[in-house]
Structure 1
């Protein structure tokens, strides 16, 4: 593997930064290493046939700044010169992008690597604590993001460098533990007979959980979308939706505690994504914390580990900006993921 170090060529400014999701693409330009990112309006991926078209019409046509380098975070595996995105039709073709738009250097990484980078790039004002504790300055960290799916990454510090560790932790098994779980779990929709964490802890997973609770109680589900379940649960107007949110944060707490143990994350656990930001009141009602800390014989370790919700709407962009400013601060693997003109 090849990691960025002092012998690598630094990124040439200005740098175009992009966080490309299934529904939204967020862009910014970093003029130099001391500047704040110039953030552009959020782009709807469905409004543009290609990422090249989106960058040209939404960014380059709206500024006199000509980026020389590009750093993109994408939801999908980065493999080869044609990078397919998981939840949208865009394909990233770095070589063609350089030819058509004049870029000299393009780096493409995984979207949750960018979320992990953001953890050490954000100020405290963009972190909402949901479990008290003290974050060790160079302690390992975990990022969990319930959204369209369930993303996960670690961040490990060694030799004065932060190393993001992307993974598929959102697909680990999640099983019943309490008597209520045993009533609800038989009604959950499975994948080939299996209940992974993502089957519950994402947008469609919340609806899956809501329907399972209704079925367990012999009731007809009223709500059909994550937003409807979340709204009804937060408003306290629907007992099934309220319990769905309570169980959602309980199961998220269990998984967050498991990942904290895997990474020995004395630097904290960080929840990111739209769902976590919307349900902060439920995350603070004590059920997440109880499940997070309920890890005998290591409960004391978890009680000392803080957990936060990342509230910055452009967190991944800020993580990419931190990397673009000082690549040597981060051990980001670039082999097979960097293209130069």
Structure 2
């Protein structure tokens, strides 16, 4: 029976394209490679460069997660200039099958395969094994997904764009920041704050509210200054990032009934290191009034594995049409 191997697997974000090769069912991923999206003119060029650099033959199937909504054959990336036709990509690489899904759908499908060493726990109790699981991850953008339980031991990966929901404030301080952000953005989505650029946006908002002239800082600069505690506005920006993340994560958990737990993916939270206040995150994650007790029992994990979405891309080929 044709099982679609060998496979080309991709995880395409707004900044980097990650590729891997899987030779056979259950085989470990090989030749994992990370390429800046800006180094290639298109997805096709990036994929072919990867295959050529590793001397790989033509793959039979390809499974690719992309950091944007996939609603048809034409795909346009949200946080990069790449756009492509799935059918044209499939034809160009001579693939028998090409499946393109949202990158956080891929990541959600990888969650059951993660090991304890791939995770860092942030409080809560023990997840309920037959209940839904929530997933979000600040990176170049804000990815949101989950595994929805059917009550019979099976799960469906959620495909959506929850990172673009409207951000809300839980107190006057947060409301002041949102007011400052609205002077720049017509719509202040969760992604405008909970992402790499979101850290910079928060830093500028803090400076505006405090009447301080902002410096020309990038996401890494804000992070480094917050870790070193050398800039009060950077420290405040990361604190508000943590608060907003807890709030949004709690909302998602309640919306999905995710008593199986919440997973945090993306590169931002691991990069924040000691500047990410886990106690503060739990405080805002659980601050849901009459449902505080319920959320206190929900476990939260930070994903520390480097390329789990590539595993999920292969899983997507197995379970999605």
Give the TM-score of the pair, scaled to structure 2: 0.92
Residues 40, 59 of structure 1: 8 Å contact kept = no
- Residue 173 of structure 2: SS of its match in structure 1? helix
Match of 1:154 among 135, 140, 146: 146
Match of 2:36 among 44, 60, 74: 44
Shift of the alpha carbon at 1:119?
A: 1.7
Question: What is residue 116 of structure 1 aligned with on the other side?
Answer: 108
**Structure 1: 5+ residue stretches without partners:** 1-8, 335-341
Question: What is residue 13 of structure 1 aligned with on the other side?
Answer: 5
Question: What is residue 247 of structure 1 aligned with on the other side?
Answer: 240
Q: For 1:23 and 1:201, locate their aligned partners in 2 and report how far apart those are by CA, in whole Å.
A: 16
Shift of the alpha carbon at 1:192?
A: 5.8
Shift of the alpha carbon at 1:223?
A: 4.6
Shift of the alpha carbon at 1:289?
A: 0.7
- Residue 298 of structure 1: SS of its match in structure 2? helix
Match of 1:315 among 304, 308, 312: 308
Residues 131, 148 of structure 2: 8 Å contact kept = yes
Q: 1:216 to 1:322 in 2, by over 3 A?
A: same
Question: What is residue 280 of structure 2 aligned with on the other side?
Answer: 287
Q: 1:100 to 1:185 in 2, by over 3 A?
A: closer
Residues 249, 282 of structure 1: 8 Å contact kept = no
Shift of the alpha carbon at 1:307?
A: 1.0
Superposed, 1:184-195 pairs within 5 Å as 184-190=177-183, 193-195=186-188
Q: 1:172 to 1:87 in 2, by over 3 A?
A: closer
Superposed, 1:139-288 pairs within 5 Å as 139-158=131-150, 159-190=152-183, 193-288=186-281
- Residue 273 of structure 1: SS of its match in structure 2? coil
Q: For 1:227 and 1:245, locate their aligned partners in 2 and report how far apart those are by CA, in whole Å.
A: 12
Q: 1:311 to 1:65 in 2, by over 3 A?
A: same
Question: What is residue 92 of structure 1 aligned with on the other side?
Answer: 84
Q: How many residue pairs end up in the alignment?
A: 320
Give the TM-score of the pair, scaled to structure 1: 0.86
Matched, 1:83 2:75: yes
Q: 1:66 to 1:114 in 2, by over 3 A?
A: same
String of CA shifts for 1:141-176, please: whole Å, max 9, x gaps.
111111222221121122443211122222223233
Matched, 1:68 2:66: no
Q: Which piece of structure 1 moves more, 221-230 or 175-184?
A: 175-184
Q: For 1:319 and 1:191, locate their aligned partners in 2 and report how far apart those are by CA, in whole Å.
A: 36
Q: Which piece of structure 1 moves more, 172-181 or 295-304?
A: 172-181
Q: Which piece of structure 1 moves more, 47-56 or 76-85?
A: 76-85
Q: For 2:251 and 2:12, locate their aligned partners in 1 and report how far apart those are by CA, in whole Å.
A: 28
Residues 189, 199 of structure 1: 8 Å contact kept = no
Residues 19, 50 of structure 2: 8 Å contact kept = no
Q: 1:212 to 1:170 in 2, by over 3 A?
A: same
Q: For 1:192 and 1:179, locate their aligned partners in 2 and report how far apart those are by CA, in whole Å.
A: 19
**Structure 2: 5+ residue stretches without partners:** none
Shift of the alpha carbon at 1:188?
A: 2.1
Question: What is residue 136 of structure 1 aligned with on the other side?
Answer: 128
Question: What is residue 298 of structure 1 aligned with on the other side?
Answer: 291
Shift of the alpha carbon at 1:306?
A: 0.8
- Residue 77 of structure 1: SS of its match in structure 2? coil
Question: What is residue 19 of structure 2 aligned with on the other side?
Answer: 27
Residues 142, 153 of structure 1: 8 Å contact kept = yes
Residues 67, 77 of structure 2: 8 Å contact kept = yes
Q: 1:59 to 1:305 in 2, by over 3 A?
A: same
Q: Which piece of structure 1 moves more, 294-303 or 61-70?
A: 61-70
Question: What is residue 337 of structure 1 aligned with on the other side?
Answer: none
Residues 190, 199 of structure 1: 8 Å contact kept = no
